[in-house]
Structure 1
Amino acid sequence: MDRPRAEATGQATTRFRAWRLAKELSLDEVADLTGLSKAMLSRAERGQRELAPMTKVKVARRLGVAVRDLFEVSEVSA
């Protein structure tokens, strides 16, 4: 599911935190909306935890935004 961060994810975590703060949501509120723990979200925001791709999709869907609005997205070639 979720795995420790392999490399710096500062830009991605900054994007998620910036979005949350712009919407004036607390970590508690985001945790309630997404079903993830406050601790996990906090670690993800600080770059201490890399969320699995499907977890990123789940978070974005439950918050009603595109994944790329919250996280760095790698291009997938067909």
Structure 2
Amino acid sequence: MDGWVDEETPGLVEQADAGWFALAAEHGLFGPDREFLLGVPVPDLWRVPSICRYMEADVKRAQQSNRAGVTDRERALVREWLQYLQHHS
């Protein structure tokens, strides 16, 4: 799927949905349970249970592993989260 669907394509909605899902999965939009965040109703991220659960799992995984399974981007995200918690909780 290349991300484009022609208006005349049979099954337009199904192909558009499949394309959106493929792009979202490729770019890490989904969590381990195929959940994703659309928005936060509150400015205090540390008070949003789903964000905390997700980040706690990332922190634990990053702290337990110095192996290739954790990317530099993930390590940076964990560092930023821990710094955020220090300043906001």
TM-score under structure 1 length normalisation: 0.29
- Structure with bigger gyration radius: 2
Structure number with higher strand proportion: 1
